[in-house]
């Protein structure tokens, strides 16, 4: 292949890849007149990254292939009956609260489909009617209701409820949607516990940390009556919100995530906000708990119980 023809071929490759998350398949490379020697050279140089059997990432991002690119690399090679599912679908949909990503792409494929699980790919055998799937910017994924039903069966309790809360809070699920999940659980392993966890969902939680704190309070017999307790400030013409509230006892909890509250400016704003709240609600007891506190529930429950006047 001459330098000119190779340059033109690579331009054709990038034009194709730009429409599918910078991924191309082996048949598409052949259609662009890219020979095997060129493919091997591009891979050895690090300019292209093999994704799965028969697909390559040809992007130019120092961070490497994104989740979308890795999913595309699989789906472009396995036919239209397969869709991203479980944790992978949840991440693509923007749900929060999942365990740390382990690099595995989760797929739903019908029984008898030729694709098999292998390192980096987990295939879940399941009938997937058209109503249970959608296309998300070019990638087939299970719809939010189906995704949440699957995760209720796959995840530990805290993560499963966190994902449900996130989906509700973001509008990916509605309250009526929750009623459609139990039939999707029937006859599947762990369905009884999943139905119990489903009842714990609350879209008022704005972050996985708030969900964790809320579940600790529930398990400790101290369920918060209010999420996002709104405190009006007529003087300043605004309102404040406290993550979890016991208004009758003038007790509240703020769940402080590390990223939003770690900068000097954020610390200053937090102090100003807390001072203002105690001015608006004399006698207010406002606790602030972090992610590390949730690993030791007594650090949350003991002071909360005392503030509520309970033994």
Q: What is the pLDDT of residues 25-66, one digit of tens each?
A: 999 999 999 999 999 999 999 999 999 889 999 998 989 999
pLDDT at 4: 56
User: Does 203 reside within a domain?
Assistant: no
pLDDT at 34: 92
Of 50, 71, 92, the position where a domain reaches its end is 71
Chain center to CA of 124: 19
Q: State whether 230 and 194 are in the same domain.
A: no
Q: State whether 96 and 170 are in the same domain.
A: yes
The pLDDT tens digits for 113-152 are: 989 999 999 999 988 899 999 999 999 999 999 999 999 9
Q: State whether 29 and 132 are in the same domain.
A: no
Phi, psi of 79 (to 5 degrees): 90, 170
C-alpha atoms less than 13 angstroms from C-alpha of 278 in its C-beta half-sphere: 9
CATH number of the domain enclosing 226 = 3.40.960
Give me the torsion for CA of 120, 125, 130, 134, rounded to 10°.
-20
Contact 13, 32 (CB under 8 A): yes
C-alpha atoms less than 13 angstroms from C-alpha of 3 in its C-beta half-sphere: 0
In terms of pTM, does the model score above 0.95? no
CATH number of the domain enclosing 63 = 1.10.10
The pLDDT tens digits for 275-303 are: 889 889 999 999 999 999 999 999 999 99
């Amino acid at each position: 292949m001459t330098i000119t023809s190779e340059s033109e071929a690579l331009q054709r490759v990038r034009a194709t890849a730009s429409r599918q998350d910078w991924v191309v398949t082996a048949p598409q490379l052949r259609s662009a007149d890219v020979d095997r020697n060129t493919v091997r050279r591009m891979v050895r140089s690090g300019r292209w990254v093999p994704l799965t059997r028969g697909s390559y990432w040809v992007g130019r991002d120092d961070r490497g292939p994104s989740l979308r690119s890795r999913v595309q690399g699989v789906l472009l090679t396995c036919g239209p009956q397969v869709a991203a599912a479980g944790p992978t679908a949840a991440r693509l949909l923007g749900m929060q609260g999942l365990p740390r990503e382990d690099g595995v792409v989760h797929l739903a494929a019908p029984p008898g489909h030729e694709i098999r699980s292998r390192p980096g790919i987990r295939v879940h055998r399941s009938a997937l009617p058209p109503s249970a799937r959608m296309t998300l910017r070019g990638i087939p994924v299970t719809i939010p209701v189906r995704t949440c039903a699957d995760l209720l069966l796959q995840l530990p309790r805290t993560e499963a409820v966190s994902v449900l809360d996130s989906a509700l809070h973001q509008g990916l699920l509605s309250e009526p949607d929750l009623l459609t999940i139990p039939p999707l659980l029937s006859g599947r392993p762990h369905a009884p516990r999943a139905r119990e966890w489903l009842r714990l969902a609350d879209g008022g939680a704005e972050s996985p940390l708030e969900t964790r704190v809320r579940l600790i309070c529930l398990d400790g017999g101290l369920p918060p009556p209010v999420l996002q307790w709104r405190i009006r400030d007529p003087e300043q013409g605004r309102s404040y919100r406290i993550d979890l509230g016991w208004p009758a006892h003038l007790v509240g909890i703020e769940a402080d995530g590390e990223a939003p509250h770690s900068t000097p400016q954020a610390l200053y704003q937090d102090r100003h906000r807390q001072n203002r709240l105690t001015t608006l609600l004399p006698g207010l007891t406002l606790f602030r708990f972090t992610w590390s506190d949730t690993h030791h529930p007594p650090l949350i429950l003991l002071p909360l119980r005392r503030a509520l006047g309970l033994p």
